[in-house]
Amino acid sequence: MSYRVRVVLCWTWLIGFCFAGINVYAADVQFEVELQSDTRSLSIGASLEYLEDAIGGYSLDDVREPGLSERWIKSIKNVPNFGFSSSAYWFRFKLSNASNDRFSGLLELGYPLLDFIDVYLLSAANEKKAMPDYLLGDSKAFGQRVIPHRNFLIPLVMPAHESFYVYIRVETGSATQLPIVIWEDQAFYQADADWLMLQGVFYGIMLIMALYNLFVFVAIRDVSYFFYVCYVVGFAGVMASIQGLGFQYVWADSLLLQDRAPVYSILFATLAVVVFTDRFLSLEQRSERLHKTATLIVMSIVAASFLAFLLPYSLSIRIAVMLVIAIGIYCMSAGIIISSYGHKEAKYYTVAWSVFIVSILVLALNKLGFLPRNVWTENMGQVGAAIEVTLLSLALADQINRERNEKLTAQDEAIHQEREARLAHQQSVEAHKKAEEQLTGRVKERTFELESALEDLSIANRKLKEISTIDGLTGVRNRRYFDLMILKEFQKCRESESPMTLMMLDIDHFKNLNDEHGHLCGDECLRAIASVINDTVKWPTDGVARYGGEEFVVLLPKTAMDGGQLLAEKIRSQVESRVWDIGGKSLNATVSIGIASLNPVTDNDTPEKLIAKADEALYRAKGSGRNQVCVA
């Protein structure tokens, strides 16, 4: 080949490469998502392309190379679901605001158990200029999220007719699912509120059933009720960990607990349900084989719990899910076998667990990637649990009724035998009297036990009511107690034509203290100042409560303004003079106090009016330099 030919070929190759390079980024994303002026929510799973990165080593530039263009696959599911996979997955789409209005909304990635999520937004006008990236995932502290929410939220603000290229990289030890929805702001928060309301109903049912069966366990000492309570609590923990509610509200500061919570909550719930099944169906007496199987399953769960410390999450969760399926089959089989012996409570149990096991199988198959992820497969576990709890309650009630009927039958039989013995021989009269005395003693003993149990329950209820009025952080009364107290004391003052005085206190510069020293230091400061106020207000009829945030209120029934003003100044000076050792630091604080007094003699004099006046005085105190008392 001549030198001239080689030069021509080289230039031809170079020019072709340049022209090909021009279209690399213009044509890499094939599917576009358009936002219209009336867009409120848009599920875009079926508008994605995805690429599997088996070794997890591709960068953003790598996946945009022309050589990988044929490996991008069009998603055909509303929610891409790859089950448990060690691969990383890349997703991409073009997002365009086709309306004439600015779009403000959120990009929601609705699976809280994803470990690593990298989101890249590239301007369509200049593809090589990347906007700020978002690095998300439950492997990062909850406080690092852009928006504090159980799901992963990315704010979207798009001017009219602007476009972005969106690339998302996902790598996780849990099931690789990507439910992805674009929301308009208001629509998202409305839908989120509706969802939380339904979850409140579900967790309320779980709490009620747990407390009810706990009280029954305390009353009758039947251990099957205790394990049923453990199961209810464990299942609620499973749902809280899967839905991200646990990470958001309970263990937000613990990445280790977030990583292991789904596994251990599943193992705890399955352990409780196996023991409950064994006890409730009396398998040790009715079927030795089923009882031994239950023992082996319990040992397997204990072994899996120890292995979970050593194995990676991706393997531990698969073992847990497979145990769920196996235990579901076992529980349903045990119910069917025992119900075939004619035990009525076993029939209730079988129906209840048939419904629940089907729902759990659907949820497990969804996590393993065999079923698509949608509203039914994701919430089937909760639906089944609600039905199962109701049916098992009927089963437990039937068991109690059966035991009561058996006792009544035994009593009737004893009376019948007594009559026969009396007719047969006169000497049986004495034996009957002794038996009757023994029976009376047992009845009295049982009655005394039931009365004691009811008394314990009454004491527990009173303690629970007392606890519900205490602020958990400061130890003083809470807002709920104050709202009830001011209504009651206001009516008393109206009837006795006595004045009522109200103080509202606010810790000065509390936000700065929180920002500078941390929330734990702020909590200690709240407790310390609450203690000063509580120690200063000594009259039995007066009340101290935390009103909210860093605000406290002091209610002084039958107290005039001058008396309240003296007490307010005493509190202010006590707080100002104190120096607290908090977290190894010497800190002091001041408070601003607004005080108002009212003599409720007409219908126009209301608690709300008194609160408003005190609040107005507080704002004057804060606006006048803080650390002072202002009178309404």
- One DSSP character per residue, 221-233 reads --HHHHHHHHHHH
**H and E: helices and strands count for the chain:** 17, 20
CB atoms within 10 A of CB 26: 9
Least Cα distance to 375 among 110, 84, 40 occurs for 110
Which residues, at least 6 apart from 69, have a Cβ–Cβ distance to it below 8 Å?
A: 28
d(CA 523, CA 540): 27
Q: What's the mean pLDDT in 295-324?
A: 89
pLDDT of residue 16: 40
Structure confidence at residue 597 as a pLDDT band (50, 70, 90): very high
What is the pLDDT at residue 390?
74
Q: Are 49 and 168 in contact (CB under 8 A)?
A: no
Q: Can you tell me the mean pLDDT for 46-68?
A: 90
Whether 531 contacts 523, CB under 8 Å: no
Where do we find the tokens 């998603």? Answer: 75
Q: In DSSP terms, which residues pair with 165 in a beta bridge?
A: 94, 122
Residue type for 173, please?
A: G
Whether the pLDDT of residue 490 is over 50: the answer is yes
Beta-bridged to residue 553, according to DSSP, are: 504, 545
Pairwise CA distance, residues 550 & 533, whole Å: 13
Give the percent of the chain with pLDDT over 70: 85
Q: Could you tell me the two tokens for 417?
A: 């035998």
Q: Compute the average pLDDT of residues 398-406.
A: 70
Cβ atoms 508, 622 nearer than 8 A: yes
Contact 471, 545 (CB under 8 A): yes
Q: Is the pLDDT of residue 49 over 90?
A: yes
What is the second-level CATH architecture of the domain 479-631? Answer: 2-Layer Sandwich (3.30)
Residue whose tokens read 């969804």:
366
Instruction: Kindly give, in sequence order, each residue whose CB lies less than 8 Å from that of residue 604, ignoring residues fewer than 6 positions away.
Output: none
pLDDT of residue 6: 39
- Cβ(325)–Cβ(334) below 8 Å: no
What does the angle CA 150 – CA 155 – CA 160 come to, to the nearest 5 degrees? 150
pLDDT at 9: 38
631 contacts 521 by C-beta, under 8 angstroms = no
Confidence of residue 443 (pLDDT cuts 50, 70, 90): low
Report yes or no: 355 and 384 within 8 Å, Cβ to Cβ.
yes
Longest dimension (CA), the chain: 137
CB 133 within 8 A of CB 118: yes
Task: Count CB atoms within 10 A of the CB of residue 64.
Answer: 21
What is the mean predicted confidence (pLDDT) over 127-146? 77
CB 504 within 8 A of CB 617: yes
Q: Does residue 87 register a pLDDT over 60?
A: yes
**CA 145 to mean position of chain CA atoms:** 17
Alpha-carbon dihedral 600, 605, 606, 612, rounded to 10 degrees? -110
Torsion angle of C-alpha atoms 239, 245, 250, 253, degrees rounded to 10? 120
Whether the model pTM is above 0.95: no
The residue-averaged pLDDT of 57-75 equals 89
CB 90 within 8 A of CB 157: no
Structure tokens at 626: 């803080």
Structure tokens at 36: 């219209």
C-alpha angle 198/349/226, rounded to 5°? Answer: 75
pLDDT tens figures, 518-537: 888 888 999 999 999 999 99
C-alpha–C-alpha distance, residues 233 and 16, integer Å: 66
Do 508 and 618 touch, CB atoms closer than 8 A? no
CA pair distance 606, 613, nearest whole angstrom: 11
* pLDDT score recorded for residue 461: 66
Among candidate residues 477, 471, 501, 509, the one with its CA nearest the CA of residue 622: 509
Q: Mean pLDDT, to the nearest integer, of 109-133?
A: 77
Q: d(Cα 480, Cα 502) in Å, to the nearest integer?
A: 16
Quickly state the pLDDT bin for 126 (edges 50, 70, 90). low
Residue 600 has pLDDT above 90, yes or no: no
Which residue, among 216, 202, 180, has the nearest Cα to 79 in the 3D structure?
Answer: 180
Mean pLDDT of the chain: 83
Place of tokens 């089937």: 380
Q: Which amino acid is at 395?
A: A
HEC per residue, 26-79: CCCCCCEEEECCCCCEEECHHHCEEEEECCCCCCHHHHCCHHHHHHCEECCCCC
Closest CA to 381 of 330, 425, 321: 321
**Rounded Cα gap, residues 327 and 337, in angstroms:** 15
Residue 320 C-beta-side C-alpha neighbours within 13 Å: 29
**Residues, the chain:** 632
Using the predicted structure, report yes or no on whether residue 587 has a pLDDT greater than 60.
yes
Each domain of the chain, given as residue ranges in start order, spans 31-189, 222-403, 425-467, 479-631
CATH of 31-189, one of 3.40.50.620, 3.40.50.2300, 2.60.40.2380, 3.30.590.10: 2.60.40.2380
In angstroms, the Cα distances linking 189 to 194, 241, 403, 406 are: 9, 21, 51, 55
Q: What is the pLDDT of residue 298?
A: 92
